[in-house]
Amino acid sequence: MAKNLVIVESPGKVKSIGKFLGRNYKIEASVGHIRDLPKSKLGVEIENDFKPNYISIRGKGDVISNLKKQAQKAEKILLATDPDREGEAISWHLANILNLDEKEKCRVTFNEITRNAVADAIKKPRGIDMKLVDAQQARRVLDRIVGYKISPLLWKKIKKGLSAGRVQSVATRLICDRDLEIKNFKPEEYWSITAKLKRKNDKKVFEAKFYGDEKGKIDIKNEEQANGILDDIKNEIFKVKSVRTGTKKRAPAPPFTTSTLQQEASRKLGYTTVRTMRLAQQLYEGIDVEGEGSVGLVTYIRTDSKRISDEAVKEAAGYIEKKYGKDFRPAKPKIFKNKSASQDAHEAIRPTHMNLEPHLIKGSLNNDQFKLYKLIWDRFVASQMTSAIYDTVSASIIAAGYIFKANGSKLKFPGFMAVYIESTDDEKPEKETEIPILEKDEILDLKSIDPKQHFTQPPPHYTEASLIKELEEKGIGRPSTYSPTINTILARGYVEKVKKTLIATDLGKIVNDLMRQYFDDIVDVEFTAQMENQLDEVEEGKKEWKSVLRDFYPNFKKELSEAEEKMKEVEIPDEESDVVCDKCGKYMVIKQGRFGKFLACPAFPECKNTKAIIEEAGVSCPKCGGKVLIKKTRRGKNYIGCENYPECKFMSWDMASDQKCPECGNFMTVKYVKGFKKYRCSSEKCEFQKEELRSKKKSEV
């Protein structure tokens, strides 16, 4: 019989940790939280200094009974939940139900599930860190008060099932504000002038961009101004005024934190935050690797730290020198600084075993796991490599008193770029541009000069990646909250995803307007960031957790009381459609239901007529000739189907294209797969299909 009981959070870790510890240890999982605030009521005694009333979570009875049973048999109990606030709180709740003293040395943590890390942790148990627990309690109680006090007001005014929350409401506001900014954006005209030049007796042409004059930069606002400059330059010589050569370095990006992993997985792999975190959790908990057994491949995945352990730095240095050579290993290890002390508790996300290169274990991973593991691996290795070095040339060229500038750069030494280059949201990678080595006072030949009209562009809609970046930069939420926040606002219908962009829905705009009007603090970015800082201070032992609630609640209570009174007078108008009710003749209005928008008669309850909103695909059914409609499943996935369903059962998960089948004349469906458009005839009787390369849109500058 095992003498020691080790309790982890996830069943996925049981096998890996059990393999390391052997027969004297029994490994059990709590399967997440075992106690929480009740769902049926507030569960916080506000008048009793915000005392939380925790209860066992419904459905966890068998888990709790088993843990108690195993605890009675064990000589020693070790709580090995995740090494963060949430994990510390779970251990505290476990200690409570198992009658363990929180000061007793029963808590162990490890940043990676490897033999050495687990063995070292088991040797150094500690008491439960109540600073971490209190920071989690403060967040939980704060979020419960906000959610349970405001949400009922939204139910009364709009519809059941809505919710408000500190982080989700701010995220919704950011998206609504961005949508409004785009809508109200007024493009401004500007012009560029590009001269194509070459040296005497040289065929190679290079570009020089108009900059201004010897007094400084000149912005060209319109065609008249551009033409004036062109007239001045006409028949003038282009002479090199100055030349400067040099080198510049490009440093590698730091290893991944939770947010940068989510951003980069979205940009490079097209993964949603939920998908990324699910896969990362699998890599952290343990994968059955051929010849190795169950192995935790990456360190803990919920972190905002860029720190790397000394041991990992040494391993990486040895790997880099062996694989790429001494020139690729920096003389001093790369150190990436964190903003605050609270971020230094963990390491960044990195591989746990430098001998398990992605290509060596590809057969033990599914395709998604392999891609994410390789991304983490490449980013970590690159972060520990030398900077890339570019040779640079910049020249100022003068014509009729105007300055044109030509800049060139050529990669001299790739450094970290031999392994990995970070993506950006605007997807404009640094390009090498070569220009010849020019000499001062040299006369150049003008081959052509090109004036071009441009218009300023509005900021882009948020994507999951760019929203996470914005939340992190503004100090909203923490590593564990980014993915659930985006998931929540999508599930509530406040935001919808159109291709990769996040767009506020009408419902989201209505909720945001009400929140801004009546609960301005809750959706205020700076206020929310200050609250996050206070939670960090609780974790660092600088602030008592209930004082955060005492400071917050009086003003919130006042706002809540005023909102309850004033919102009685608020009427939210329905959007009128052009569809006439076939029962009473009134124009039907658009309502938001559980599964999306639908049409309803405004004369309700006298007239209870409702209709689905029909979106036509613009093609005829290949079976019966009826109209083909764009429909949605209950989960929101689009498909096309015949208007005559159920008599005609035509449907397709692929969308209708504007192309017709060359063999039978029916419309073709299309889907996008890895850079290709795949067309297929919509008729079951015809097997014609074809593929085309997917053309990339060129965005205007």
Same domain, 493 and 512: yes
Task: State the pLDDT at residue 32.
Answer: 92
The CATH number of whichever domain residue 47 belongs to comes to: 3.40.50.140
Range 55-60 contact pairs with CB under 8 angstroms and sequence separation of 24 or more: 56/97, 57/33, 60/31, 60/34
Give Cβ neighbours of residue 507 (< 8 Å, ≥ 6 apart): 158, 162, 492, 493, 494, 592
Residues 155 and 172 in one domain: yes
d(CA 601, CA 590): 9
Cα–Cα distance for residue pair 271/249, rounded to 1 Å: 31
Residue 345 belongs to some domain of the structure: yes
Inside any domain, residue 63: yes
Residue 430, pLDDT score? 60
Question: 115 with 51, same domain?
Answer: yes
Q: Which residues are catalytic?
A: 300
The reply to whether 247 and 393 lie within a common domain is: yes
Residue 594 pLDDT = 57
Calculate Rg over the CA atoms of the chain. 31
- For residues 207 and 317, membership in a common domain is answered with no
Q: Tokens 């070569």: give the residue.
A: 434
pTM: 0.81
Rounded Cα distance between 566 and 275, Å, is 42
Q: Is residue 64 part of a domain?
A: yes
Last residue of a domain, one of 569, 585, 618: 569
Distance between CA atoms of residues 519 and 517, nearest Å: 6
Cβ neighbours of residue 421 closer than 8 Å, sequence gap 6 or more:
429
Give the integer Cα–Cα distance in Å for 336 and 324. Answer: 22
CA 297 to each of CA 292, 314, 379: distance values in angstroms, whole numbers, following the listed order: 11, 18, 14
Domain membership of residue 245 (yes or no) is yes
CA atoms lying within 13 Å on the CB side of residue 672:
5
CATH code of the domain containing 207: 2.70.20.10
Q: How many Cα atoms sit within 13 Å of 194 on the Cβ side?
A: 8
Q: Are 245 and 321 in the same domain?
A: no
Asked whether residue 30 falls in the same domain as residue 16, the answer is: yes
CATH number at residue 545: 1.10.460.10
Look up residue 212 and give its two tokens. Answer: 């201004």
Q: Are residues 427 and 370 in the same domain?
A: no
What is the domain extent for residue 231? 201-251+388-444
pLDDT in tens, 68-110: 999 999 999 999 999 999 999 999 999 999 999 989 999 999 9
655 within a domain of the structure (yes/no):
no
The CATH number of the domain holding residue 292 is 1.10.290.10
CA dihedral (564, 568, 571, 574) positive or negative: positive
Between CA 13 and CA 28 the distance in angstroms is 9
DSSP secondary structure letters along 117-178: HHHHHHHS-B---HHHHHHHHHHHHHHHHHHHHHHHHHHHHT-TT----HHHHHHHHHHHHH
Q: 142 lies in a domain? A: no
**Same domain, residue pair 281 and 355:** yes
pLDDT tens digit sequence for 119-156: 999 999 999 999 999 999 999 999 999 999 999 988 88
- Final residue before a domain boundary, out of 507, 536, 569: 569
Do 9 and 104 lie in one domain? The reply is: yes
Bridge-based pairing state of the strands 651-652 and 189-198: unpaired
Query: Would you say residue 306 lies in a domain?
Result: yes
Within-domain flag for 613: no
> pLDDT averaged over consecutive 10-residue blocks of the chain (701 residues)?
87 90 92 94 96 95 95 94 94 96 93 92 95 96 94 84 89 96 95 96 93 95 96 95 95 95 94 94 93 91 92 94 96 81 73 95 96 97 96 96 95 95 68 86 95 95 94 90 92 87 90 92 92 93 96 94 84 73 86 71 87 83 90 76 89 91 91 82 90 55 29
Q: Residue 468: its pLDDT value, please?
A: 94
The number of domains in the chain is 4
Domain boundary among 345, 364, 383: 383
Residue 519 CA to residue 172 CA, distance in Å, equals: 14
DSSP code per residue over 4-46 = EEEEES-HHHHHHHHHHH-TTEEEEE--S-SEE--SSS--EEG
Residues 272 and 374 in one domain: yes
User: Is the same domain home to 45 and 78?
Assistant: yes
Q: How far apart are CA 29 and CA 21, in angstroms?
A: 15
